[in-house]
Amino acid sequence: MIEFGVLAVPFFAIIGATLETALVFLATQVLDSAVHDASRLIRTGQAQSAEFTLPDFRAAVCDHVFGLIDCDQMKIKVHTIDTFADVTYEAPVDEDGDWTIIEDYNDGIASSIIFVEVYYKWPTLLNIFGFDLADQPDGTRLLGASRVFKNEPF
């Protein structure tokens, strides 16, 4: 009985850590796939012909996240750039974990180069024995997905 009591806590901590790590990787992959699918609407001109706005693009991303992500908490920035060399990454949060990204939606015209960025703060649950996937001061993990592409000549 004592032996089980001594081993139970580390055993369940390892199981919990494994499950939380798997959930973070799953959420990251789902977000990345959802951004890819929603970005395709811009690249093919479907978003432009439907006169998408930021809420419309958010809904397109949310259609593919299977309820894993709170879509109201996502930060989205879709903007045009002049050349592929102009892609620059700016951190979407400051050192205090506060959002610095300014949401915007500009899907361009035919043959525009588009830079799509989507970020989400995933809530982490487990902090046992120093295992903590949080990388933000508020106990969340920043997930992000981006795409850079040239619109088709629609």
pTM: 0.91
Taking Cα atoms as reference points, which of 135, 139, 126, 129 lies closest to residue 16?
126
Is 70 exceeded by the pLDDT of residue 89? yes
For the chain, the average pLDDT equals 93
Binned at pLDDT 50, 70 and 90, residue 1 comes out as confident
Torsion of CA 67, 69, 70, 72, to 10 degrees: -110
Binned at pLDDT 50, 70 and 90, residue 130 comes out as low
- Domain assignments of the chain as residue spans, ordered by start: 2-150
For the chain, what is the radius of gyration of the CA atoms? Answer: 19
Environment class of 82 (CB within 10 Å of its CB; exposed 0-12, middle 13-18, buried 19+): exposed
Mean pLDDT of the 18-43 span:
96
**C-alpha distance from residue 38 to each of 41, 59, 73, 95, 120 (Å):** 5, 9, 17, 30, 16
**C-alpha distance from residue 82 to each of 31, 36, 52, 79, 109 (Å):** 26, 21, 21, 10, 12
